[in-house]
Every structure is written in C-alpha cells, then in structure tokens.
Amino acid sequence: MTRNAEAVLIAAVATLASIGVAMVQFAGGTWLDADVALTFIAFAFTFGLIHLAFRAWAPNANPLILPIAGFLAAVGFIEVFRIDPSLAALQRWWLAIAGISAALVVWLLRDSGVAVLRRYRYLFLAAAIGLLLLPLLPESWPIHGAVVNGSRLWVRVTVPFTDIDLSFQPGEVAKVLLTIFLASYLADRSEAMATVSRSIGPIRLPEPRHLGPVLVAAGAAFLVLMYQRDLGASLLLFALFIGMLYAATGRGVYVVSGLVAVVVAGVVAYQQFAHVRVRISAWLDPFADFTGAGYQTAQGLFAMGSGSLTGSGLGLGRPDLIPEATTDFVFAAVGEELGLAGSIAVITAYALFVTVGIGIALRCRDRFRKYLAGGLTILVGIQAFLIIAGVVRVLPITGLTTPLMSYGGSSLLASALILALLGRASHEERV
C-alpha cells in the first residue's frame, strides 16, 4: 500500500458517494442534477486535501485510515441526502471544513510531531472542561447554551449585528482533547499505575497519588455531562477512560471495576432520574409507549425490519419517518434502504477502522503516541458501538452521533482531528 493506492481508494469513495446520490435521484424520478457532481467534488476535495497534507507532511502515514473513514462518511452522506437534500448541501460544507481542519492539524504538527501535544496536557484538559461547560452559559449572552431534545449540549453564537445563529456541540471536540490529556498523563505514569502498592482484600490498588489527578479529571467531565443530561457522552467518556487505563497498564482490575461502576451508576441513575427511567423502559419495551418514549426506537426497528436482507433500495424506503434519522439513527436508515447487507458493510468498516487504529497503536514505540493512537481508536470504536447498539436495541439509546456518518459539523470536525492525529502518529512511527 502506498500513497498512490490511497489516492485511488479516495477517488473510489468519492465515486461511491456520487453514485449513491445519483441512485437516490434516479429512484425519485428526478433526472440527475448538480448534486451528483457537487458530492463528488466535496468528497474528492475533503479527503484529497487530507491526502495531500499526508503526502507533504506525513508521507509515511498509514494509507488505510482515510479510505475507511471516507467510506463511512460516504454511506452516511447518501442517507442524509436521501432524507433531506438541503441538509446534505450543508453537510458538504462541513465536510470541506473538516478536511481543511485536518490538513491544518497535519501542517501544524509537521516539525514538532504529536509529541508537542504531550507537553500541553493541562491546557487541553482545561480547554476540554471549558468546552463542556460552554452550553451552560445563560441564554441572554451572545454566546449561550441551548437545550435540544432535553439535553443541554448545544452552544449558539449570534453573529454580531446580524440575525445569523451558528450552533455547535462543543462536547464533540472536547472528547478528542480529553483523549490527548489522558494519553499524555498515562504516558508519564503508566508504570507507577501498573504497580500495586496496597491491597483491600482481593482488590489491589496503585498508589492513590498516581490515580488521583486522572480520577479528578474524569470525574469533573463526568459530572458536567451528567448535569447536562448527556448520558451517551458520559458513558462514552467513561468507557474511553477505562479502555485507556487498561491499555496503559494491562491490568484487568480496571476493566472489572469499571464495569461494576457502570452497573452501580446505572442502578442509581435509574432510581434518581426520571429521564433515565424513560430511556430504560423504552429500551425494554419500545411498543409499550409507541407514540411516546418508544417511538424513535420502534420506528428504527420497523425501518430495519422492512429493509430485510438487501433493503428497499436507495431512495425507495421511508427513513424520513424515523426521528433523528440523519444523526443518531442514521444506522437505521441504512438498514432500511440497504438492508442487512448494507448494515453489515457499515459495521465491517468500523471494525476495519478499529483494526487499523489498534495496529497503529501496537506498532508505536513511544508511549504517548501509543496511547494517543489507541485512545482515539477506542473513542471511535466505542462511540460507534454505543449508538449502533442503541439503534438495534442491544443497549438503551444513549444519544450519540454516529461517528463520520451523522449529519453535523461538530461531529465531523472531531473525526477530522482524529484522522489527522492518527495519520501523524503512524507517520512518526515509520520514520
């Protein structure tokens, strides 16, 4: 595999995306229009730009991450286009912005490498917590929080002297910054944390002063998210934290105690918060409250059920009936129009992404790079798992975006950062 092969695969991704768009239009009876060409241009520009940045400043970067990410973005984009072409038009701009940002990150790290991030870990921690707190700003301020679907996750900025509102979800980027912090912290302390200093019965714990700061950091982020009622993000963050601790120390006790903590927290949350109870009952029996809490899950199930093995065909189903079909439930939309086959293709693509990402991490000799690559991969993998598991009713709905596939600028921007950092980390390993 070379950079040239990467370029060919990226061209294939752009072609796939535009073929999908063409098929949606074809099925809808409209003859092909500029959307097909614009889609090709958007994908070729976005991933081509990151590809060129890799060529220029990270020539030994792993050549497979971009094509896999592009594939997921393409499948997601086709469904977004099918449900709402005007949203897709915006998504093309988000793609372009994400591409530019990723290229910019690769350029910024051209001389210093990702190692420079290690030094500023507390800056990243502060920035992440700050971003997570942004949605709590009062409504009267020019930058203020906004409640969407019962969770206070959004920030709206009113551009001065105009009526234009820009909104974004700062939590998406905060996750990536937190991963950088954790990787940096663990790179310095992993040995100390793997050694056992005291035992409470069968449980053996490391020295508290090593675990302290990282617990405080995770706890703070966790509390903010709980306060904002963002169950998905708190769960994701917790899983990331446990996954990275395990990766850094190789001690299963972290995984076991993490799982126990999740169960305990789940039971407590179930008893304390009404919105958690609603989610759980909608999970156990979505048809009990079909028109209410269970509606989204039930519609998703109907969609995937009617999709059957090969789906209704692009543009021939009714994924627009599923609430949030362009973001959280984009997987159900794929299940309806491309069937089980398409769903398996999507899951396979995520699995390949994780394979490549973990492969990069395993190859890294430097601890920080290793944990960074591993953490970012865990982040994408767990997020995809949590939301897809929610859609197919393996877990309760957690309300996360589907990485790379969902409509949304914040989510794409976060993914672009991950691609840039993974690419750069793999490049440095092979120099």
Partner 1 sequence: MPALILNALKILFLLLLFLFLWQIAGAIRVHIGGRGSAPRGKGATELVVLRGDVTKGKRVKLRGSGHTVGRSPDADIIIDDPYASDFHARVSAENGQTRVEDLGSTNGTYVNGRRITAPTGVVKGDTVQIGKTMLEIR
| Count, residues near partner 1 per rule CB under 8 A | 35
Given a contact cutoff of 8 angstroms between Cβ atoms, the answer to whether 307 and 295 are in contact is no
The CB-of-101 to partner 1 minimum distance in angstroms stands at 24
Selected from 47, 57, 71, 154, the binder of partner 1 by CB under 8 A is 71
Q: Which two tokens stand for residue 27?
A: 């099925």
**For residues 158 and 355, which CB has a smaller minimum distance to partner 1 in the complex?**
355
Q: What are phi and psi of 167, to 5 degrees?
A: -125, 145
Selected from 4, 5, 110, 261, the binder of partner 1 by CB under 8 A is 5
The CB-of-345 to partner 1 minimum distance in angstroms stands at 5
Confirm or reject binding of residue 420 to partner 1 (CB under 8 A): no
Per-residue DSSP letter, 135: G
Selected from 9, 109, 248, 304, the binder of partner 1 by CB under 8 A is 9
Build a one-symbol-per-residue string for 298-317: x at contacts with partner 1 by CB under 8 A, - elsewhere. Answer: ------------xx-xx-x-
* Helix orientation angle between 252-272 and 231-249, rounded to the nearest 10 degrees: 170
Selected from 61, 68, 95, 173, the binder of partner 1 by CB under 8 A is 68
The CB-of-347 to partner 1 minimum distance in angstroms stands at 10
Cα 359 from Cα 361, distance rounded (Å): 5
Confirm or reject binding of residue 341 to partner 1 (CB under 8 A): yes
Q: Which two tokens stand for residue 92?
A: 């093309």
Residue among 308, 344, 302, 343 at smallest CA distance from 323: 302
Cα 326 from Cα 201, distance rounded (Å): 50
Query: Maximum distance among all alpha carbons in the chain?
Result: 71
Q: Using the rule CB under 8 A, give the single segment among 53-61, 62-70, 234-242, 270-278 that binds partner 1.
A: 62-70
CA-to-CA separations, 176 to 168, 180, 316, 414, in angstroms, rounded: 15, 6, 37, 7
Residues in touch with partner 1 (CB under 8 A): 1, 5, 9, 12-13, 16, 19-20, 23, 26-27, 29, 62-64, 67-68, 71, 75, 310-311, 313-314, 316, 338-339, 341-342, 345, 348-349, 352, 355-356, 359
